[in-house]
Amino acid sequence: MNSTTLNPNISLEQTDTSVKSLLLGIPLQIYVVAICSALVIIGVLWDIAWHMSIGRDGLFSAPHNAIYLGAALAGIISGYQVLKTSFWGTSEEKGNMVNFWGIFYSSLGGMFCIWGGFSAATSAPFDDWWHGTYGLDVKIFSPPHAVLGLGLIAIQIGAMISVLAVLNRKEKMLYLSDAQNISRDNRLRNIFMFTAGLVVLTVGTFLTEFMGRWNMHRDSFYEIGCFAFPMFIIAFASASKVKWGATIITAIYMVVMICINGTIRQFPAEPLLAPVANYITFFQTTAFPLLLVFPAIVIDVLRDKFSSKNDWILAVILGVSFFLMFLFIQYNAGTFLKESPLARNWFFQSDSMPYFNPANSDWRYKFTDWAVTRGIKNWAIAALVSSVLGILSARIGLLWGNWMKRVQR
């Protein structure tokens, strides 16, 4: 597609030129929803630590407020943009939007953010009712949390698509120099990869119950991981159009998770809900991130090497390769994280234990029998299932990535 040139009197017409230059012609909405993407996952990780460490919470606890603020702000600014464009926008601005109900104009990403905001808002009273009816759960994957998770992922994907729509249009701003227009594209691409890393983090967080360090010697860990992650990693890397896109996105996922959990662990906390089996004095956190950066490196190398192949052939190559590297890296990492004293610190977080679990439990620092798959036959079946799921996930990722490359609204 040929580049388009936007007149400064049309683009961001109500803002000062110096502000437009500072923003590099990128709509303020994109910056805001990207920040909201980070805020909601900070709230989620904080909320999990709160449940592990304090127990007692309420509808308006501090972590919940962080989540609500991020979700509400993303929905509100996207809703404002819809109204502004629908009733006061120029024909050119409306041409860059999706028309729905014959009246309203919105970017596709904005629609995701609005829906995600409503979903997160709906989950709040649902979660409060759930706790009031069934007690304070200790599960991440409860029905109200599932509704919340879908809403938050929708907001984060909305942020990504909003960036892509601007990036794929290849716009050039007249009030920016050529160097600034190049910087603009680079900034958009960096925002995209940052928000993509946050999506991977959110997906990984909601799968923690099935993919914690205690399950890393179990077949289901690799089956779930091989279906869940390749589609996101491959799609986002493809849409980024960066050679090492998968590596950068998964590195962002790991760094952000380590920084958030490492920071949370520095604050004091004590249980406020009996029974207390593990007396703690600071926040306990979920886990060290999965080492997805290593299979991501393999994906990037193979994407480049076999880019001319049919997508199904490429999906087979990427899916099987992801499984093999994921198994090799994560199985050995599981041994270290679960059993080594060197992993019991703020960085690796393997000493984290909820207050309601016995501190001296026999399985705290070793694998239990139910969490270990044994026998060549069982692992052969697991390898086949994981590979097939990895191939399907990779194929979905390639399809999704090709679609995202064409998004312009």
CA–CA dist 293, 254 (Å, integer): 8
pLDDT, residue 65, reads 87
Summarised one tens digit per residue, pLDDT across range 395-404 is 999 999 999 8
- Chain mean pLDDT for the chain: 85
| Domain boundaries defined on the chain | 27-206, 210-409
Residue listed under structure tokens 């052969």 = 380
Summarised one tens digit per residue, pLDDT across range 124-139 is 666 666 666 666 555 5
Percentage of residues of the chain with pLDDT beyond 90: 43
Range from 120-124, 241-245, 248-252, 293-297 carrying the lowest mean pLDDT? 120-124
Range from 63-72, 170-179, 316-325 carrying the lowest mean pLDDT? 170-179
Q: Which of 269 and 129 is assigned the larger pLDDT?
A: 269
Q: Which of 117 and 305 is assigned the larger pLDDT?
A: 305
In SS3 terms, the chain reads as CCCEEECCCCCCCCCCHHHHHHHCCCCHHHHHHHHHHHHHHHHHHHHHHHHHHCCCCCCCCHHHHHHHHHHHHHHHHHHHHHHHHHHHCCHHHHHCCEEECCCEEECHHHHHHHHHHHHHHHHHHHHHHHHHHHCCCCCCCCHHHHHHHHHHHHHHHHHHHHHHHHHHCCEEECCCCHHHHHHHHHHHHHHHHHHHHHHHHHHHHHCHHHHCHHHCECHHHHHHHHHHHHHHHHHHHHHHCCCCHHHHHHHHHHHHHHHHHHHHCCCECCCCCCCCCCCCCECCCCCCCCCCHHHHHHHHHHHHHCCCCCHHHHHHHHHHHHHHHHHHHHHHHHHHHHHCHHHCCCCCCCCCCCCCCCCCCCCCCCCCHHHECCCHHHHHHHHHHHHHHHHHHHHHHHHHHHHHCCCCC
Vertex 403: Cα angle to 398 and 404 (nearest 5): 100
* pLDDT of residue 11 exceeding 50: no
CA–CA dist 329, 363 (Å, integer): 22
Torsion of CA 267, 138, 289, 404, to 10 degrees: -120
Highest mean pLDDT among 17-26, 63-72, 306-315: 306-315
Q: Which of 204 and 362 is assigned the larger pLDDT?
A: 204
Instruction: Judge whether 354 and 138 are in contact, CB under 8 Å.
Output: yes
* pLDDT of residue 15 exceeding 50: no
Rounded to an integer, the average pLDDT of 378-391 is 96
pLDDT, residue 14, reads 42
* pLDDT of residue 407 exceeding 90: no
Vertex 253: Cα angle to 249 and 258 (nearest 5): 150
Summarised one tens digit per residue, pLDDT across range 73-94 is 888 888 888 888 888 777 777 7
| Domain 210-409 belongs in CATH node 1.20.1450 | yes
Torsion of CA 175, 177, 182, 188, to 10 degrees: -30
* pLDDT of residue 321 exceeding 90: yes
pLDDT, residue 160, reads 84
Percentage of residues of the chain with pLDDT beyond 70: 87
Rounded to an integer, the average pLDDT of 201-213 is 90
pLDDT, residue 333, reads 96
* pLDDT of residue 260 exceeding 60: yes
pLDDT, residue 131, reads 63
Q: How confident is the model at residue 13 (pLDDT cuts 50, 70, 90)?
A: very low
Summarised one tens digit per residue, pLDDT across range 148-198 is 778 788 888 888 888 888 888 877 766 777 787 788 888 899 999 999 999
Q: Which of 52 and 176 is assigned the larger pLDDT?
A: 52
pLDDT, residue 136, reads 57
